[in-house]
Amino acid sequence: MKILLPVDPFLPVPPTLYGGIERIVAGLIAALRSGGHEVGLIAHRDSSAAADFFMAWPHAPPSSAAAHLLNALTLRKAVQRFEPSIVHSFSRLLYLVPLLASRMPKLMSYQRFTGGRQISLAAAVAGRSLMFTGCSRFIAVMGAKSGGTWRAIPNFVDTDSYRFQPRVAADAPLVFLSRIEPIKGAHLAIAVARKTGRRLVLAGNYAEQGAEREYWDEVIGPQLGRNGIEYVGPVDDKAKNELLGSSAAMIVPIQWDEPFGIVFAEALACGTPVITCPRGALPEIVRHGVEGYFIHDVEDGCRAVTELGAIDRGACRMRAEQAFSAAAVVPQYEALYQELLHGAVL
């Protein structure tokens, strides 16, 4: 099978630091090629993933309607040159417009909030040649309200690249690993750590301006370097592996409906329990009392920290392998490719 993967024109595949979907696509390319498929990629010009065919977006990032149009035409040109069996887009639905009326099988995958008239129109024009996936049931249900055929296929991580740590030191810190902004709950993580007397390591980037920068300057910054609260900045894959694996738990008490949250699966792959809130897709990733705890406030968070000893780190790793590894997820995409190719979508 020949699969063409367009990816949003903002970050290279794989990314240097952050870039969840770009990391997933890099893993998907490797898994599909190892399974005997031929894979094409349309992505940022700095991409280094080992695909069989590559074309760079002419505008990355796009800055105007004309730039988006040229990117859409680039996708059509790539189809003409690569002649794929299926186009599986992790980019913009807009870029599929020149292909919608064709019989070319198309799969559009969403990693963010979705819905709206554009989906219903695309589904009506493309008919059975187009299918949609959401990175969680939460997203798939949201998208399906606008029409089309949807399936939920979770994001995945390269579990082989994350070192399982079956045990950590008694004084192991908690870790917050995410973008440092109010919706990720860094202030709540700090409050829990201070109240329980646990060290907390914060890792991630923060905004340079606007309300999120004020949050950093006024809420987070004054807490650093005191009471065991430490900030280590953005981390690469090697540092992330070490940070997660050596932590007693990852605490990211989200304050919004997370579409998926790859870092939660990464923590589980290291055997690290997760403390978070039951919003968005999180109940699909973490099972309360098995791989971590759901909390609603600081008091809940404190109780969760005191009960971490009841969580089996081996169960956390097993959850990652069974539900969020390439071996578990890529076959789900391959099955959808076959459905589209054989017109089996109902």
Q: What residue type is 60 in one-letter code?
A: A
pLDDT at 254: 98
Options 3.40.50.2000, 3.30.360.10, 3.40.50.1580, 3.40.190.10; which CATH number does 159-323 get? 3.40.50.2000
Q: What residue type is 139 in one-letter code?
A: I
Domain ranges of the chain: 2-156+326-341, 159-323
| Residues whose CB is less than 8 angstroms from the CB of residue 309 and which lie 6 or more positions away in sequence, other chains included | none
pLDDT at 37: 98
Residue 28 has φ and ψ, to the nearest 5°, of -65, -40
pLDDT at 22: 93
- Same fold for the domain at 2-156+326-341 and the one at 159-323? yes
**Would you say 51 and 26 are in contact if contact means Cβ atoms under 8 Å apart?**
no
Tell the residue number behind the tokens 């860094």, with chain if given. Answer: 186
Domain with residues 2-156+326-341, CATH architecture: 3-Layer(aba) Sandwich (3.40)
Please list the ranges in the chain whose pLDDT falls under 50: 344-346
Which of 155, 138, 149 minimizes the C-alpha distance to 19?
155
pLDDT at 60: 86
The CA distance from 320 to 258, in Å, is: 18
Helix (H) or strand (E) holding 302, with range, is helix 298-306
pLDDT at 345: 47
**Can you state the angle between helices 262-269 and 313-323, rounded to 10 degrees?**
130
Question: Residue 321's Cα: distance from chain center in Å?
Answer: 16
3-state secondary structure (DSSP) of residue 157: strand
3-state secondary structure (DSSP) of residue 167: coil
